[in-house]
Structure 1
Amino acid sequence: MTYRFSANDQFNYEILLALGSAWRRGADVGEVLSTAATLAADGGDRSGDENGGGKSEEEAWVRAWGGLGRAVREQAEKCAAQGRAVSARDAYLRAAGYFGMAMVAVDACPDPEARLRELFAEHRTCFGRFAAAGDPPAERVTIPYEDRTMPGYLFGPPDRTGALPTVIVNNGSDGPISTAWTLLGAPAVERGYRALLFDGPGQQSLLFEHGVTFRPDWEQVITPVVDFLTARADVDARRLVLAGISQAGYGVPRALAFEHRIAAAVADPGVVEVVASWWPHLGPDLRALWESGDREAFDRILYEAMAESPALAARWRWRAKPYGIESPFDLLTEVSRYTVLPVAHRITTPLLITDPEGEHFWPGASARLHDALPGPKELIRFTEAEGAHLHCEPLGRARFEQRVFDWLDERLGVDSGAGLAGRGSPLEEERKFS
């Protein structure tokens, strides 16, 4: 990676995401850099780990970002009590993001499930208060899904009523809803779209609070969402967008193969086979052992490796959590079912696929998905030279929004300038304060 704030690759990436989210007020650059610098200087304080007297790098991470989240939440509550709505709203969003960062390492902490429940509750409380403080306030919605419902938030732009084009924001495997907002929801609303953020199987509240795990037939998730939106008078059913981030780069094309009421879609990035992100961490020998079908030997080797490395065990548990499968062999067998190839020929919806340089989870998959599509498609490259590289372009948000939403506007006939109605031209706005 070009930019390094932590020796831990996962933590470094989370810091990059946080810095990029400052573009949408999801973090404060100074708060992020100060916390990252403190963690780097501390080095995890592992001196007493063997005897229980110190804390691991992962636990230091959880404490630092959870602590920052609580400090910012406290400030938000003070501002709200004083009637300072804008300051409170912005602080609640930042706090939600920091709690989301803390959650990625809870599996390395003592009593991880209790820590996760605590952090997730704080995260969702802050995001809910942010959403309620919007202009207009977001609507909390429940989407019928099989024998239960999926929770979500429907955001809309200010001073606009009636049936509007709407972006369905499809989150990835473990990202918090605050990240889904800063990556896709906020730019959609600013351009005059409604934006629906929701938790599906394997995601956030459905996973953490109800134990509902992922499923490969993602169309069974998106079709109820489309049914819900098309029944609303404030949604233009002819101009629905399905946009997915991270592992939703699989879920989006999978759903499009069966759900044809979507007018245009975005996969950031494209994912052909979800399991492809697992093999680089395991190596060719373990992959060959898995392919041989020797479940007992495969599981034994993985369990021994995790026993020797608590950090490895924690990362494995975090990535495995959305699937709800304990056996490593069975888990990889299940993840291998998540492939778009058998149904790619059914996709006719116009699909934009991002292709960031340095994609480290699914390298080459965006081009591979693009080549497999029979219908309208576009592949957009993001490069290191422009600062918009890496998975989900963490630091290139302005470029991402411009390219992706200009493409969507053109496809759907949306006038994004209407989202700025009432503001006047930049020159007129400047004259007001001169």
Structure 2
Amino acid sequence: MKNELTNTARTTKWYYGTTSGMPAYFKSIMDMQLAKAFSHINFGGAESGEIFSTIKKITDGDFESWTQAWASTATRVENVARECFAKGHLISARDAFKRASTYWQAAGFFCNYKDPRQYQYRMQNRVCFREACKLMNPQIEVVEVAIDNGKTLPGYFIRADQTNSPKPTLLVMGGGDTFAEEIYYWGDAAHAADRGWNALMFDVSGEPGALIHDPELKFRPDVEVPISRFVDYALSRPDVDPDKIAINGHSFGGYMVPRTVAHDHRIKAAIAYPTMPLCRIGWMGAMNLDPFEPYPRELESVVDMSNSVVRWLLDEVRWAHGMENKTLAEFLDFASEFTIEGMEDKITCHYLNMSSEGEGGAIALARTSIAKMTNCASLSDKMLTAEEGGDAHCGLNNPALKAQVVFDWLEEVLGITQHK
């Protein structure tokens, strides 16, 4: 098994490489972000024509050209939204605000944390999404939940209907580079209300949406602490059924979900896409290091700085962990604390491990972990394939298929019947 994992544990290929279901317009890390933009189309968060007109202005691997192109599109579409709103065209304004939010999020993605445009563009993503929320029916509620040390984290609550009757509720998280706002489109939140579910989507410490809320909220190994506060919030609402609370995490969320449900048994069902037992393995793979061998202390002279994934890792990811002034080896030391090893048998809820065929080594790694989850109420493993068009990381290239698998599984394990 070690050889199998060693040969496949290269996250450059897991997360950012070209698979048959990816756009394949860019050869760099940009292609993953392009796939994400396309994933917003189903619920009105983007339009293909606007996407194509934008990417024609981008040079592959040139982060600055990406930033400028998306910022130009975002500015134009936001101006349309505000003009429509001023004239009383509220549906048109809502739709344009949703698209502008997506394009601002894309514009800020590759900005260095020292670049003031990063905060500006990422915050404008939030501003536009919240303007759209006010115009939705029912409105999406903006929430802010106290965690610890006097800090709070932002999120959104989507009600299944206008009654206060208790409903099943899905808590939804992204990963290390996502915002709560985008989870509405590809993270199953928008699908929830159609199926009679509430959805609570939120940012976790270290995610970019948390960092623009409070730059001190860096990644922390004990993610179960802030996430359990969102469970507290959900249980405080009369429209939440306490016996039907589920949680869904993507990418880095595949570490956060099992870690949380190992500690918080109020959650009845969990989906990890895919299960990530030790985060250091992923970061080493991204640097083309053997994740199962000791790493040298002088890594800066070893890694390939021409690789766009490595450049992003060295800047953005270390900063989000509060390690921007530390060496790469020190960062990997800290990343070793992000683990669920030894906690697997404490998970007692229903558990679904999801993966996509293009994630390669992540699939094998996840399966070694779930094999240790011997006390789950039930344990399921589902991989989306290239033939199904769901082979990209977290199923980004087929959110509808992903939602079908997630909600059908939830209905079955929690005994929920849809009424015609």
Q: Is the 8 A contact 2:287 2:310 kept in 1?
A: no
Give the superposition deviation at 1:87. Answer: 1.9
Q: Does 1:33 align with 2:37?
A: no
Q: Does 1:172 align with 2:175?
A: yes
Greater Rg over alpha carbons, structure: 1
Quick one: structure 1 residues 134 and 180, their matched pair in 2 at CA, closer, same or farther if it must change by over 3 Å?
same
Quick one: structure 1 residues 366 and 284, their matched pair in 2 at CA, closer, same or farther if it must change by over 3 Å?
closer
Opposite residue 385 of structure 1, the aligned amino acid is E
Unpaired segments of 5 or more residues in structure 1?
A: 45-55, 419-434
Q: Does 1:156 align with 2:162?
A: no
Give the superposition deviation at 1:314. Answer: 4.3
Q: What is residue 403 of structure 2 aligned with on the other side?
A: 401
Quick one: structure 1 residues 321 and 363, their matched pair in 2 at CA, closer, same or farther if it must change by over 3 Å?
farther
Q: What is residue 24 of structure 1 aligned with on the other side?
A: 43
> Equivalent pairs: percent with the same residue?
27
Q: Does 1:262 align with 2:271?
A: no
Q: Does 1:194 align with 2:198?
A: yes
Q: Which has the higher helix share?
A: 1
Q: Distance between the aligned counterparts of 1:360 and 1:143, measured in 2?
A: 36
Q: Distance between the aligned counterparts of 1:271 and 1:152, measured in 2?
A: 23
Quick one: structure 1 residues 204 and 7, their matched pair in 2 at CA, closer, same or farther if it must change by over 3 Å?
closer
SS in 1 for 2:343: helix
SS in 1 for 2:152: strand
1:127 pairs with one of 120, 126, 129: 129
Quick one: structure 1 residues 157 and 61, their matched pair in 2 at CA, closer, same or farther if it must change by over 3 Å?
same
Q: Distance between the aligned counterparts of 2:99 and 2:418, measured in 1?
A: 26
Give the superposition deviation at 1:315. Answer: 4.3
Q: Is the 8 A contact 2:281 2:291 kept in 1?
A: no
Alignment of 1:3-82 (within 5 A): 3-39=22-58, 43=59, 57-82=62-87
Q: CA RMSD in A?
A: 2.3
Q: What is residue 207 of structure 2 aligned with on the other side?
A: 203
Greater CA drift, 175-184 or 358-367: 358-367
Quick one: structure 1 residues 367 and 311, their matched pair in 2 at CA, closer, same or farther if it must change by over 3 Å?
closer
2:107 pairs with one of 92, 102, 107: 102
Quick one: structure 1 residues 228 and 70, their matched pair in 2 at CA, closer, same or farther if it must change by over 3 Å?
same
Q: What is residue 336 of structure 2 aligned with on the other side?
A: 336
Asked which structure has the greater RCO (Cα within 8 Å, sep 6+), the reply is: 2
Q: Distance between the aligned counterparts of 2:360 and 2:166, measured in 1?
A: 39
Q: Distance between the aligned counterparts of 1:83 and 1:249, measured in 2?
A: 43
Q: What is residue 428 of structure 1 aligned with on the other side?
A: none
Quick one: structure 1 residues 89 and 337, their matched pair in 2 at CA, closer, same or farther if it must change by over 3 Å?
same
Opposite residue 32 of structure 1, the aligned amino acid is I
Quick one: structure 1 residues 333 and 214, their matched pair in 2 at CA, closer, same or farther if it must change by over 3 Å?
same
State TM-score, norm by structure 2.
Answer: 0.87
State TM-score, norm by structure 1.
Answer: 0.84
Quick one: structure 1 residues 143 and 6, their matched pair in 2 at CA, closer, same or farther if it must change by over 3 Å?
same
Quick one: structure 1 residues 274 and 113, their matched pair in 2 at CA, closer, same or farther if it must change by over 3 Å?
same
Q: What is residue 319 of structure 2 aligned with on the other side?
A: 321
Q: What do the CA deviations read for 1:122-143 (whole angstroms, capped 9, x no partner)? A: 1110111122222111222221
Q: What do the CA deviations read for 1:6-61 (whole angstroms, capped 9, x no partner)? A: 3343110111121122122221112112222332xxx36xxxxxxxxxxx810000
Q: Distance between the aligned counterparts of 1:285 and 1:236, measured in 2?
A: 45
Give the superposition deviation at 1:256. Answer: 0.6
SS in 2 for 1:325: coil
Give the superposition deviation at 1:4. Answer: 4.0
Q: Is the 8 A contact 1:5 1:37 kept in 2?
A: no
Q: What is residue 282 of structure 1 aligned with on the other side?
A: 287
Opposite residue 70 of structure 1, the aligned amino acid is T
Quick one: structure 1 residues 59 and 315, their matched pair in 2 at CA, closer, same or farther if it must change by over 3 Å?
farther
Q: What is residue 427 of structure 1 aligned with on the other side?
A: none
Alignment of 1:209-288 (within 5 A): 209-284=214-289, 288=293
Give the superposition deviation at 1:230. Answer: 1.0
SS in 2 for 1:143: strand
Q: What do the CA deviations read for 1:367-415 (whole angstroms, capped 9, x no partner)? A: 2233221111111120001111121111212211111111112223334
Opposite residue 349 of structure 1, the aligned amino acid is C
Q: What is residue 8 of structure 2 aligned with on the other side?
A: none
Give the superposition deviation at 1:160. Answer: 4.0
Quick one: structure 1 residues 19 and 361, their matched pair in 2 at CA, closer, same or farther if it must change by over 3 Å?
farther
Q: Distance between the aligned counterparts of 1:143 and 1:299, measured in 2?
A: 39
Opposite residue 168 of structure 2, the aligned amino acid is P
Q: Distance between the aligned counterparts of 2:397 and 2:308, measured in 1?
A: 31
Quick one: structure 1 residues 8 and 58, their matched pair in 2 at CA, closer, same or farther if it must change by over 3 Å?
farther
Quick one: structure 1 residues 416 and 331, their matched pair in 2 at CA, closer, same or farther if it must change by over 3 Å?
farther
Q: Is the 8 A contact 1:199 1:206 kept in 2?
A: yes
Q: Is the 8 A contact 1:360 1:390 kept in 2?
A: no
Give the superposition deviation at 1:287. Answer: 7.7
Give the superposition deviation at 1:82. Answer: 2.3
Q: Is the 8 A contact 1:353 1:378 kept in 2?
A: yes
Give the superposition deviation at 1:310. Answer: 8.8
Q: Is the 8 A contact 2:179 2:203 kept in 1?
A: no
Opposite residue 190 of structure 1, the aligned amino acid is D
Give the superposition deviation at 1:76. Answer: 1.3
Unpaired segments of 5 or more residues in structure 2?
A: 1-18
Give the superposition deviation at 1:218. Answer: 1.6
Give the superposition deviation at 1:104. Answer: 1.9
Give the superposition deviation at 1:177. Answer: 2.2
Q: Is the 8 A contact 1:276 1:362 kept in 2?
A: no
SS in 1 for 2:318: helix
SS in 1 for 2:129: helix
Q: What is residue 10 of structure 2 aligned with on the other side?
A: none
